[in-house]
Chain A
Amino acid sequence: MNILVLVKRVPDTESKIRVAPDNKGIVEEGLNFIISPYDEFAVEEALRLREAKGGKVTVISVGREEALLILRKCLAMGADEAVLVKDEKPETFDGLRTARAIASLIERKFPDFDLLLFGKQSFGADNAQVPAMVAALLGVPQVNVVVKLAIEGREGVAFREIEGALEKVVFSLPAVISAQKGLNEPRYETLKGIMAAKRKEIPIIPIEELGIRAEDLAPAVEILGLEPPPTKSAGRLVQLPPEEAAKEIVRFLREEAKVF
């Protein structure tokens, strides 16, 4: 199977996000960057499928050269190859631009792919747009927010999370799948893997060389501003015997908060 996995470099989810003085982005200085957590499930699933069925796993990222670091991590986990689409001005919040870059790359370099794996959304933009946009641009079926996946021959079965239930979805390859937490437990890199990954060459393709029209590379969204969320002030703290505490909660809900 020819499996492609799309990964994104994002700030560590534990980090404190500070808005930049121009109110258009965040302060990157001092932040630790990682592979977006859902993307790790996608990489792990690709490796497991290759181990079971044979084939090749190629990891792809779109962004600045700093993204090479997460591509090396994926190689160290066991991916066969990696490609960086270099975008000096990655527009974090513009899913369409990223989707166009990925779809063009695939049409040019990987037209015979079987499976395209993504994380269900990236940390940061939280758009959850690119997997389905790429599926539409390539005209292949999609299953998003997948917690279980099985491939047999050219057919696949995926379980996707919906409100209070799972949808069992059947599809044929090629297809786009986006991973949800619960799909698997991502492995750690091995020392041997890390050493081997260091020696691998990662081709870098500038986004301008993908044959995308200039007007299609122009941002489709206009950022008016980024701001910290309104802070919620702390309310009242009480310490009472259990029965009185229970009464106080219900009284508060009825009389003050008017929830009931």
Chain B
Amino acid sequence: MILVFIEYREGKVKKSSLEVLAEAKRLADELGWEVVAAVIGSDLKEQTAALWGQGAKKIIQIKGDGLDQYSPEKYTHHLEELIQELRPEAVFMAASAMGRDLAPRLAGKLQVALASDCTKLKVLNGELVFIRPVYAGKALLTLKLKTKPQLATLRPNIFPLSEPQSGEGEVIERKIANPYSGPVAGVAEIIREEGAELDVTEAEVVVSGGRGMKGAENFNLLRELCAIIPRSAVGASRSAVDSGWIGHQHQVGQTGKTVCPNLYLAFGISGAIQHLAGMSGSKVIVAVNKDPEAPIFKVADLGVVGDLFQVIPPLKEELRKALSE
């Protein structure tokens, strides 16, 4: 069995959790295993359909007081109990902010190894093999886990969803009998950044700016493009962030975030090796830069040599037209 931890927040199942479920199902089919989904705290209600659609055979809802809000200590405790009972072969979750916090704590508690932030999984001679970028994407590591359950987090936006399957399974409610009594770090408040609903790691299109943006106010041009393009977010190079033009949470690259959107639009980004490490996995890359020698053009599918301040206004119009059709 592969147990998949599902993130459910503000009435929605995270897309990255569904991607994990879809990949788990593909592997489970090859191995003759089944896939069980586990969700903590919330009632999934009509959202169960999405989970059945991606191949869950059973859904386990762990419920109890104080579990609505994420807590690494409590969530680890309840998942550990469930794992001791079900004895799954593998436990997967998304390498989201929550998954990257929860999975290593769970690994520590179970004293098992963890494959973090995997970008590919496969079955080799009947065993799971995990592939993940290391050295900020400058190398790919292939590994096996020698401990059980095999615990892994899967990078968002990499694994495709499956064609939804029909049918329903069993929903099992699990009331907690043994609440966590140790010290916890509790979330008191979530502070959202104004106008930034999507994180760069979750966006399907990243509109990114670098030193060529010349100033903080010009990032509004990129925000305007994002307003036109659905499911997009503003990204930035390290030099733009270090110049104080935009917050660090937008930084793409080695000391920032690694992104793999369907489209990466790079404006005024030269393409330092540290930046390329964070975005060269994007499915399509389009770059606009004045300098025909800019290294970003080495990874761009389409490179436009030109002044971004002249290209963006007509581009806005063209995109608006194209996307309204």
Contacts and interface: CB of A to CB of B under 8 A. Distances in A.
B187 A237 contact: no
A96 B113 contact: yes
Contacts of B303: 234-238
B183 A172 contact: yes
A124 B185 CA distance: 28
Contacts of A240: 304, 306
B189 A168 contact: yes
A182 interface: yes
A75 interface: no
A249 to B, nearest CB: 6
Interface stretch (A66-74, A127-135, A201-209): A127-135
A257 interface: yes
What DSSP secondary structure best describes chain A's contact surface?
Answer: mixed
**Contact size class for B?**
35 or more
Interface in B261-301: 262-263, 273-274, 280, 284-286, 288, 292, 297-301
B145 interface: yes
A159 B249 CA distance: 13
A181 B318 contact: no
A126 B143 CA distance: 14
Contacts of B177: none
A96 B112 contact: yes
Nearest to B186: A170
Contacts of B323: 260
B139 to A, nearest CB: 5
A168 B293 CA distance: 44
B135 A124 contact: yes
B302 A170 contact: no
A127 B114 contact: yes
A11 B199 contact: no
A163 B101 CA distance: 13
B104 A128 contact: yes
Contacts of B108: 96, 99, 132-137
Contacts of B248: 147, 180-182
A225 interface: yes
B239 interface: no
Given A245-B304, A250-B319, 9 more contacts: A96-B107, A128-B100, A136-B107, A160-B97, A164-B197, A245-B306, A245-B314, A249-B304, A252-B301
Nearest first, the 5 closest Cβ-Cβ pairs linking A and B are: A136-B108, A133-B108, A163-B199, A220-B113, A132-B104
18 contacts: A17-B135, A96-B108, A126-B132, A128-B117, A132-B104, A135-B105, A163-B96, A163-B97, A166-B193, A168-B190, A171-B186, A222-B146, A229-B133, A237-B297, A245-B315, A246-B318, A249-B288, A259-B263
